[in-house]
Structure 1
Amino acid sequence: MTKPSSLRNLFSDTPSMQKQFQTLIDAVQPVDGTLTEAAQAHLDDLTKPRGSLGRLEEIALQFVRATGCLKPVLTKKKICCFAGDHGVAIEGVSAFPAEVTPQMVYNMLSGGAAINVLASHSGADLDVVDMGVNHDFPETEGLVQRKVGRGTRNIAEGPAMTEAETLIALMAGAGIALSAHEAGYHLLGTGEMGIANTTPATALYAVLLGIAPETIAGRGTGIDDQRLEHKKTVIRRAIEINQLHCGTPLGTLAALGGFEIAGIAGFILGAASVRLPVVVDGFISTAGAVAAMKLCPASSGYLFFSHLSNEQGHRTVMESQGVRPILDLDLRLGEGTGGALAMHVIEGAIRIYNEMATFSSACVAGKEGE
């Protein structure tokens, strides 16, 4: 099993980690807008009225730009569910105890979670990544050991992570994406598991996007009104206590984030560095995506936001980024479930783009006047 100390040995010191992380950021290039005209012409030549497949055409265009390929391939998919515990759970901000995090990881590893069912249904492979669960797991098929620590520190009392720990988590996530690219995957998806993680996610949104936390703090696992007000108080306290650490996106992620959220951010950056599109799941995964976009704005073009979460505040976050998620099913589970469902839509868009006949090839008359 990979111990936290062995992960730290990958980097000799913080300046070295910062240099490697900057190299990763520099490798992320904007999506290829030069392909837009040719891809749009191909879509317009398909045997249908122009634009009649709506967002499927938009998705296909984005996929072409992201991959840099006019004839994109999409046959191999993987979802990575990042898991981590949070010190802030001790504040009673969740309806479930922290022990549920490792229990749910075991449930995923045994095939019993919602993400197992939906990933299988979408034809996606699934890995569970231990970024920082307060439990030692045995070596198990489908488990990727990248533990940085046994849960974060309590953000209501100080920073969740050190900058060094955050960089380790970011680079670990990036490494997982790069390994997936080397293994031939064409589309990746994010998921997460971590009791109390809507609290750090909300704090991150508040600081990174300048949104009042009271307007986006939600019920998470189903807390009542009294506990929701307490949760808002905890988030406000965390932001106030950590304000001196939040001068940069990296500092904010370290102070208010989580090991799994940082892992997701790194996963996105690693994928973007090799032009590998990523499907972002719900409220927590979006926090990792926002962190990634703040660290490297060019990464945004590689992201497909899978669904509008039913968690309060997700709509506000999506609107602030000018994003219209693919699905709206009132989901609020996480795990990667929305991402798995959205993969069906994305794959359908690419199959339309690649497999549908064109007017020029099918001897079908086009619209008069064109």
Structure 2
Amino acid sequence: MTQFSSIDALRAACRDVPPPDRAAAAAVASRQATLTKPPGSLGVLEQVVGWLATWQRRAMPRLDRVEILVFAGNHGVVAQGVSPYPASVTAQMVDNFAARGAAINQLARIAGAALRVVPLSLERPTSDLSQAPAMSETEFLEAVQAGHAAVRPDSDLLCLGEMGIGNTTAAACLAAALHGDGSASPWTGRGTGLDDAGLQRKQAVVAAALDRHAAVLDDPLQAARCLGGRELAALLGATLAAREIGVPVLLDGYVCTASVAPLARLAPGGLAHTWLAHVSAEPGHRLLARGLGLSPLLDLGLRLGEASGAALAVPLLRAALACHAGMASFAEAGVDGCCSRTTP
């Protein structure tokens, strides 16, 4: 198992990622051209099959083993009043996941996906990121390592999500640091339901954090350490591991996308093995998706987290693959193709 002894070692791993399997993508395109439909008529459904094949590294992709990983962490910045919920809710929701009482439990069942929840030192919140680095280098690397180790190599598709009261503040900080112009407000939303006064307070906290850590914001991994959280770091580690072992990834909402944004800064195509499942109601998420060049599959106004949007996208991918694998070719069906007759 890969061990990250330092941030420099992690940086090297993020930059040395496997390329796409273009032969697998070509095999999908070749089969698509023979199927009983006008070329390109299934739109994005055709594209996602090619994407699955590319990163599974097989000519005919499959979705037999779909896994949802939800990482949970607590944040010291909650003390600043950036959420209407107390930090204790994080552990309570982890218990709710275990009791199968949360939205993601229902969505995972419908998607035919296995759900695993990984709590990360919930008894030890990160430091208040507006006053100090959220994590030491050791804490950051431990969280990245936990995410990296959690990915199973026999997965066909990985859906990523998170739970952590206060983590949209961390996401806003990281997104603004990597893709903003120094302004906090465009990246900072109401999270779990802040009122106007709460939103202004949250924006001030994000601005203070960006100012405090300005010296490290040119380094994506140091920015993630200072402005993120354990669950965000674990999401980065899991996404890196998936790239290394050939597992395509469905990203969930704002927190998830901000967590993996450093990978795009560290290597060209660093997020090519990911697809954005949905764009959330948090205003910063749409900005971040645009900055990363990610096109969401769904736009449903969700702002729950928990990998809920990623789970909802799984049946869409199953439908795309069913069409690709199950449709007859023009020759098999005895249907004239668009180029099967020559013009006299």
- TM-score normalised per structure 1: 0.87
Residues 8-59 of structure 1: per-residue CA shift (max 9 Å, x gap): xx97xx8x34475356436521212344333222112111111111110011
User: Partners in 2 of 1:107 and 1:185 — Cα distance?
Assistant: 25
* Aligned partner (choices 223, 241, 257) of residue 252 of structure 1: 223
- Supply the distance in 1 between the matched residues of 2:27 and 2:243 (Cα, whole angstroms): 22
Structure 1 residue 176 corresponds to structure 2 residue 150: yes
Match of 2:159 among 189, 204, 218: 189
Distance 1:186 1:207 in 2: 33
Tell me the matched-pair count. Answer: 339
CA contact (8 A) 2:264 2:292 kept: no
The residue number in structure 2 matching 1:343 is: 314
Contact residue 28 and residue 60 of structure 2 kept, 8 A: no
Q: CA RMSD for the aligned pairs?
A: 1.8
Q: Distance in 2 between matches of 1:65 and 1:110?
A: 36
Check conservation: 1:187, 1:277, Cα contact below 8 A: yes
CA contact (8 A) 1:163 1:250 kept: no
Distance 1:99 1:22 in 2: 33
- Structure 1: which amino acid aligns with 2:244? S
**Farther-moved stretch of structure 1 (123-132 vs 37-46):** 37-46
Structure-2 separation of matches of 1:172 and 1:41: 39
Q: Which residue of 2 aligns with 1:282?
A: 253
- What is the distance in 1 between the residues matched to 2:205 and 2:39? 51
Q: In 1, Cα distance between the equivalents of 2:62 and 2:288?
A: 31
Query: What is the one-letter code of the residue matched to 2:322?
Result: R
1:23–1:312 Cα change, 3 Å? closer
| 1:209 equivalenced with 2:179 (yes/no) | yes
The alpha-carbon distance between structure 1 residues 45 and 156, as it changes in their structure 2 partners (threshold 3 A), is same
* 2:66 match: 77
Q: 1:146 maps to which residue? A: none
Cα gap change, 1:155/1:23 in structure 2, threshold over 3 Å: closer, same or farther?
closer
Gaps of 5+ in 1: 1-9, 135-149
Distance 2:291 2:9 in 1: 31
Alignment counterpart, residue 193 of structure 2, candidates 222, 231, 239: 222
Deviations 1:77-124 (A, max 9, x none): 110110000000000010111111111111111100000000111010
Cα distance in 2 between the residues matched to 1:17 and 1:278: 25
Contact 2:24 2:53 survives alignment (8 Å): yes
The equivalent residue for 2:289 is 318
SS of match in other structure, 1:132: coil
Which residue in 2 is equivalent to 1:266?
Answer: 237
Q: Secondary structure at the match of 2:120?
A: strand
1:21 pairs with one of 3, 6, 10: 10
Answer with 295-304 or 352-361: which moved more: 295-304
Amino acid at match of 1:39: V
Answer whether contact 2:275 2:294 (CA < 8 A) is retained.
Answer: no
Give the counterpart of 1:123 among 109, 112, 128.
Answer: 112
Structure 2: 5+ residue stretches without partners:
none
| AA of the residue aligned to 2:288 | V
**SS state of the match for residue 45, structure 1?**
coil
What secondary structure, in the 3-state scheme, does the structure 2 residue paired with 1:299 have? Answer: coil
- The residue aligned with 1:104 is 93
TM-score normalized with structure 2 length: 0.93
Change (3 A) 1:230 1:309: same
